[in-house]
Amino acid sequence: MVRKPSDYQSDVWIDWCPGCGDFGIVAALYRALAELDLQPEKTVIVSGIGCSGKTPHFVKVNGVHTLHGRAIPFATGIKLANPELTVIINGGDGDLLGIGAGHFVALGRRNIDITIILHNNTVYGLTKGQASPTLKRGLRPKALPKPNIQDAVNPIGLALASGYTFVARGYSMMTDHLKELLKKAIQHKGSALVDVLQPCVTYDNIHTVEYYKKRVYKLEEIGWNPIVEKIDEREEKLLRAWTKSLEHDDKIPIGVFYEDPHTPSFEDRIRDRLPSYLERPPARQIIDKEGRTIIDNEIFEKIFSTHIVETE
């Protein structure tokens, strides 16, 4: 059966503000899921808190709406316990780069096969427009009583520094382009970040549709090759991608910045230690035999022999 984007729409009314950039993200997501024909039962969307946190309720795949900043570790547990699941995270800039920044770094270090869709709108929307970690110093979106005095974090740069093996940026109003990025990210084997620029129509009067329209350009159009073709060019590609990520004022590049297919995923690293891991991950193991533990007295003494002394 071939699924259509509408097959992934849930029955829940979407309560984002009219014109919100989130609509573009979820529309691109429906289409990416459909084009990849992902089985809803084997797909899980994990989110944090805030407007983006509601995303799982609007998508007809498994949804886990978690705590502020913690979507990544929840998703980590799900994916590692059952690696056959496709796990996607939808989180905001405050969620993933503020309160949850430690987890954001940790995911890169592990390179678990999880895709992050970062809803990047420079403000905390649901709490009425406070500055997020991606808002530049000196700016003052309309809800702020005073201009922001904290510097912005560079999501692409942070992802590259943390070890993400697929790093891209999209724009919520260019859904065709975004959909392609999401497909690539989901198909990539390893930790993938798609930083999605997204206007907050209610609280951010600076980063508007007009603002982005003037600045955004596609990396493909300048002949950018993000792929680490051979392992020995990893450093060079990483450095180029990082330099490119600094370009963020007059011109804003979107597209795939960096893609490294060589670094082993965390699942592969686990398999090196536990050879049966992918065939029998935690979620596929049987732990009891008719209500009894599979470890009987004899097996017990064999497994834990170093703790047992035979008395003389």
Partner 1 sequence: MKELTVVIGGPQGAGLETSAHILTYSLARSRYGVLSDREYFSNIKGRHSYIHLTISSEKIPTSLTYPAQLVAGLDQETIFTHFKSLGEGGAIVYDLYLEDKTLDTIPSMEEDLKKRLHLEFREHGIDGSIKSLIKYISDNRKVRPIPINYSEVINEVSRKMALPASQAARYVSSIVIGAISGLLNIKKESIEYSLTLRFKDRPELIEHNKIIIDLVYDKVVAEHGSLLKLEESRLKDRKLMIVSGNDIVAIAKIVGGLRYQSFYPITPAADESFTIESYERLEVDGKEIGSVLVIQTEDEIAAITSTIGAALTGVRAATSTSGPGFSLMVEGLGWAGMNEVPIVITYYQRGGPSTGLPTRGSQSDLLFTLYASHGEFPRIVLASGDHVEAFYDAIEAFNLAERYQTPVIHLLDKFLANSIVTLPPPDLSAIGIDRGQLAYETSKDYKRFDVSNPISLRVVLGANTIMWYTGDEHNELGHIDEDPENREKMYRKRMEKLKIADEEIPMEKRLAYYGPEDADALLVGWGFTKRVAIDASRILSEKGVRAAYLHIKMFSPFPSKKIEEILSRFDKSKIIAIDHSYLSQISKAILVNTGVKIVKEIVKYTGRPVYLNELVEGVLRILEGEDRVVLTYGP
Angle, helix 155-162 to helix 101-110, in steps of 10 degrees: 40
Nearest CB to partner 1, comparing residues 40 and 248: 40
Q: Which of 16, 19, 24, 14 is nearest to 172 (CA)?
A: 24
CB of 49 to partner 1, least distance (A): 8
* 161 touching partner 1, by CB under 8 A: no
Place of tokens 């536990």: 274
Cβ–Cβ < 8 Å for 266, 83: no
- Candidate ranges 176-184, 194-202, 232-240, 299-307; the one touching partner 1 (CB under 8 A): 299-307
Contact residues for 298 (Cβ-Cβ < 8 A; gap 6+)? none
What is the footprint of partner 1 within residues 26-55 (CB under 8 A)? 40-42, 44, 46, 49, 54
Strand partners of residue 118: 91, 195
Site string for partner 1, 262-281 (x = CB under 8 A): --------x--xx-xx--xx
| Binding-site member from 52, 55, 66, 202 for partner 1 (CB under 8 A) | 66
* Residue of 176, 210, 249, 288 that binds partner 1 (CB under 8 A): 288
Q: How far is the CB of 272 from partner 1 (least distance, A)?
A: 12
**Count of Cβ atoms closer than 10 Å to residue 142 Cβ:** 11
Pick 222 or 303: Cβ nearer partner 1: 303
- Which residues does 45 contact at the CB level (< 8 Å), separation at least 6? 55, 56, 59, 61, 62, 63, 64, 88, 89, 90
Residue from 26, 89, 103, 194 binding partner 1 (CB under 8 A): 103
* CA dist., res. 247 & res. 245, Å (int): 5
**Under rule CB under 8 A, residue 309 binds partner 1:** yes
311 binds partner 1 (CB under 8 A): yes
Spatial separation of the C-alpha atoms in residues 132 and 216, rounded to whole Å = 21
Q: How far is the CB of 283 from partner 1 (least distance, A)?
A: 4
8 A C-beta contact, residue 56 and residue 46 = yes
Helix (H, G, I), strand (E, B) or coil at 78: helix
Other residues' Cβ atoms within 10 Å of the Cβ of residue 221: 9
Pattern 171-210, partner 1, x by CB under 8 A: ----------------------------------------
Residue 296 lies near partner 1 (rule: CB under 8 A): yes
Contact between 150 and partner 1 (CB under 8 A)? no
For partner 1, the binding residues (CB under 8 A) are 12, 40-42, 44, 46, 49, 54, 56-57, 60-67, 69-70, 72-82, 84-85, 102-103, 105-106, 270, 273-274, 276-277, 280-283, 285, 287-288, 291-297, 299-304, 306-312
